[in-house]
Amino acid sequence: MKKRKGFYSISVVAKMFEVHQQTVRMYEKEGLLTPKRSEGNTRLYSEEDVDRLEEIIYLTHKVGVNLAGVEMILKLKKKITKLQDEINSLLNAARDNLDEETELIKGDTQRRAQRLLQMKQEAQKEMTKSFIDVQEVAARAIEVGEQRRSTSEKKRDAAKNVVKKVTLRKQVEPEGSSDDTVDDWQIEYDNEL
């Protein structure tokens, strides 16, 4: 069966499906078809009407359903189509909501990730700074320790030199000299430092 676009007269539609025009009128009288009318009251069948007539003829002639059954099937089909449209609408709305929520979550996750990265970088800076401070303190402590050790060693060396000098003087001085006293040595020791 070849269909043309636009509107069809009852004679053309009857020829398409190889049925009598009276059969098409009966389907209209039963409320199964509702074609438009021209100004001259001629029936004009749309593509949708032709598709519906094809379905009616299939159910009555091929499957053997009576007109009451066809009417029920067509009403159920209309309800199913309406429900399917509502389901599709709900699914689209749910999908849109899910997309919005996903975008919000992505944005929130990105903000949190950036904040965590920033906190990590700040912590690394603080750790590096603390590490440098510890190194500086340790280096300074070592330096002070060496200075103290150096000062202590210098004093010890100076004391050894004084003792050597005092000892040498004592060895040089004649024995039994009445001038040798501990006080004289102390004065000499203080003068040598």
Mean pLDDT by 10 residues, the chain (193 residues): 72 94 94 91 93 94 93 93 95 93 89 87 78 69 76 70 50 52 45 43
Are 43 and 33 contacting, i.e. CB atoms less than 8 angstroms apart?
no
Closest CA to 86 of 45, 78, 133: 78
pTM over 0.85, yes/no: no
Q: Which pLDDT score, from 0 to 100, does residue 70 have?
A: 93
**In this predicted structure, what is the pLDDT of residue 188?**
45
CB burial of residue 43 (10 Å; 0-12, 13-18, 19+): buried
> Which domains does the chain show, CATH number per domain?
1-65 (1.10.1660.10)
Which of 71, 43, 68, 44 is CA-nearest to residue 55? 71
**Per-residue pLDDT, 168:** 43
pLDDT at 95: 94
